[in-house]
Amino acid sequence: MTEISREHLKNLLDRERTTYRENNPRSIELYGQAKNLFGSVPMTWMNKWSGGFPLYFETAQGNQITDVDGHTYIDFALGDTGAMAGHSPQASTAAINERIAVAGGITTMLPTSDAQWVGAELTRRFGLPLWSFTLTATDANRWAVRLARLATGKSKILVFSYCYHGSVDETFAVPDATGAAVARPGNVAPPVALAETTRVVEFNDLAAVERELANGDVAAILTEPAMTNIGIVLPEPGFLSGLRELATKYNALLMIDETHTFSAGPGGMTARDNLAPDIFVIGKSIGAGIPCGAYGITQEVADLLANHPEADLIDVGGVGGTLAGNALSLTAMRATLEQLLTDEAFSHMIELGTRYTDGVRAILERYEINWSISQIGARAEYRFTSPAPLNGSDSAAKSDDELDEFMHLYMCNRGILMTPFHNMALMCPTTTQADVDAHERLFEAAIVELAQIK
Ligand SMILES: Cc1ncc(COP(=O)(O)O)c(C=O)c1O
């Protein structure tokens, strides 16, 4: 295997940081002026951007972004999946404009018929018959977790170490040496000790799942069908069907969050791999960037909920939000599902996802670089370790902040944006082969420099 010298990497990283500062004077200036914002950004996670300050953007169309210093980028970050249909895609913006400016009524406390259309379409794609709408995937997870506790009368949620499901208190847990749930490093002021709400094990470890379920207090297993927020961690054969069987055996609900793995196809991994969840969660991409989310439940879960007439599921019982289910989100979801994230669009996006993955893998093999790449349809991500990790803790342990920053800045300084939280690339309907090939050329150039290949 080819060694990458840390000294050399540090020098390259310094060079890329300098170029980034020199290239982006207007972004630096705006960032410097943002002292009235907590952390100098509209949302604190925007400080995750490599290079010490985020780019300020001016326009974004399809898979291209132009920043305030006049650079135009090929965007593979796509708002970390929020813009999987592309930035401001025409079909959605036409419907959104019609709702806002012509028909009128962004939020009214009244339904529109778009909700039924979207519900029926989600049923066609993912199978569950009953749907509720939210403004974010975080909200969908939070509210669905409450429903799972109500339906089962059990208190805990089982999650996988280093999972991410939005800012959901129950999920920021890792196992300690004894297997008990403790707060994950960095967890901001958890409201209660994690062991009170959560059981946590490693992804791909069915024996540990069974051991924890056997305590009899787990309302739901909450999981992505492949982890996507600690690199991509794919399920081993039999793991997801094993989860389904164990959930049924121990009277827990299986809750599948496909906010990111929707990239696998028009019906996500749920349809592709016949996952049969009791509760299903999605968000981000289905509104083309307009805040939205949804959770679906089976008739059996609805029947269990109906056994609890004392629970206030209508007003202030802890499930709901004034703007949730608003007319604008539903219009955006309808247009996006009907016209943009179609079967044909997915075929194109997945084909490019495969081209991207094959290209990166071939370069890693050619230069004998000990990294790996994993793909979920239109989404691919490389990780600085090989073989690809099988669970979240292992993947977290293999993180490499310097390599990560170098790859982000190398790409950004040459016109390609990768997702700031990881080395994820996502294809949208307007991504082209030429875009993927441009990435491949740059990726090869970065590897040749890094590994000092003559
Ligand atoms: C799997 C998964 N679920 C839920 C969320 C939360 O989405 P949002 O930030 O839109 O609430 C995320 C965000 O990255 C996610 O990756």
Atom of ligand 1 lying closest to residue 224 CA: 1
Atom of ligand 1 lying closest to residue 284 CA: 10
Q: Is the pLDDT of residue 289 over 90?
A: yes
With vertex at residue 218, the alpha carbon angle to CA 154 and CA 200, rounded to the nearest 5 degrees, is 140
Q: Which residues of 407-440 are buried (b: 16+ CB within 10 A; e: fewer)?
A: bbbbbbbbebbbbbbbbbbbbbbbbeeebbebbb
Average pLDDT, the chain: 97
Residues listed for the chain: 454
Q: Is the pLDDT of residue 381 over 90?
A: yes
State the pLDDT at residue 218. 99
Count of CB atoms situated within 10 Å of the CB of 94: 12
State the pLDDT at residue 319. 95
260 lines ligand 1 (CB under 6 A): yes
Torsional class of 51: left (φ above 0), alpha (ψ -120 to 50), beta (otherwise): left
Q: End-to-end alpha-carbon separation of the chain, Å?
A: 16
Count of CB atoms situated within 10 Å of the CB of 165: 25
Q: How far is the CA of 343 from the centre of ligand 1 (A)?
A: 23
For 182-205, the pLDDT digits (tens) are 999 999 999 999 999 999 999 999
Atom of ligand 1 lying closest to residue 80 CA: 14
For 100-151, the pLDDT digits (tens) are 999 999 999 999 999 999 999 999 999 999 999 999 999 999 999 999 999 9
422 lines ligand 1 (CB under 6 A): no
Instruction: Round to whole Å and give the CA distance between 143 and 255.
Output: 12
State the pLDDT at residue 26. 98
The best mutation among 48, 134, 138, 424 to test binding of ligand 1, ranked by most ligand atoms within 8 Å of the C-beta, falls on 138
Q: How far is the CA of 128 from the centre of ligand 1 (A)?
A: 20
Which residue, among 144, 164, 283, 154, has the nearest Cα to 230 in the 3D structure? 164
Instruction: Round to whole Å and give the CA distance between 228 and 30.
Output: 32
Q: How far is the CA of 403 from the centre of ligand 1 (A)?
A: 25
Which residue, among 368, 367, 366, 364, has the nearest Cα to 383 in the 3D structure? 364
> Average of pLDDT values for 355-373?
98
Percent of the chain whose predicted confidence (pLDDT) is above 70: 100
State the pLDDT at residue 123. 98
420 lines ligand 1 (CB under 6 A): no
284 lines ligand 1 (CB under 6 A): yes
331 lines ligand 1 (CB under 6 A): no
171 lines ligand 1 (CB under 6 A): no
324 lines ligand 1 (CB under 6 A): no
* Protein residue closest via CA to atom 11 of ligand 1: 138
With vertex at residue 184, the alpha carbon angle to CA 399 and CA 230, rounded to the nearest 5 degrees, is 35
* Protein residue closest via CA to atom 4 of ligand 1: 165
* Protein residue closest via CA to atom 13 of ligand 1: 166
State the pLDDT at residue 415. 98
CB 386 within 8 A of CB 224: no
Q: Is the pLDDT of residue 375 over 90?
A: yes
State the pLDDT at residue 212. 98
Instruction: Round to whole Å and give the CA distance between 408 and 415.
Output: 11
Q: Which residues make Cβ contacts (< 8 Å) with residue 209, sequence separation at least 6?
A: 158, 201, 221, 242, 243, 246
Atom of ligand 1 lying closest to residue 138 CA: 11
Q: Is the pLDDT of residue 454 over 90?
A: no
Least confident segment among 159-163, 189-193, 433-437, 450-454? 450-454
Read off the pLDDT band of 421 (50, 70, 90).
confident
Phi/psi for 441 (5° steps) reads: -60, -45
375 lines ligand 1 (CB under 6 A): no
Atom of ligand 1 lying closest to residue 163 CA: 1
CB 345 within 8 A of CB 360: no
Percent of the chain whose predicted confidence (pLDDT) is above 90: 99
> Average of pLDDT values for 19-40?
98
Query: CB burial class (10 A; 0-12, 13-18, 19+) of residue 89?
Result: buried
166 lines ligand 1 (CB under 6 A): yes
Atom of ligand 1 lying closest to residue 291 CA: 10
For 62-114, the pLDDT digits (tens) are 999 999 999 999 999 999 999 999 999 999 999 999 999 999 999 999 999 99
* Protein residue closest via CA to atom 6 of ligand 1: 166
Q: How far is the CA of 285 from the centre of ligand 1 (A)?
A: 10
The best mutation among 164, 170, 255, 285 to test binding of ligand 1, ranked by most ligand atoms within 8 Å of the C-beta, falls on 164
* Protein residue closest via CA to atom 3 of ligand 1: 165
Q: Is the pLDDT of residue 422 over 90?
A: no
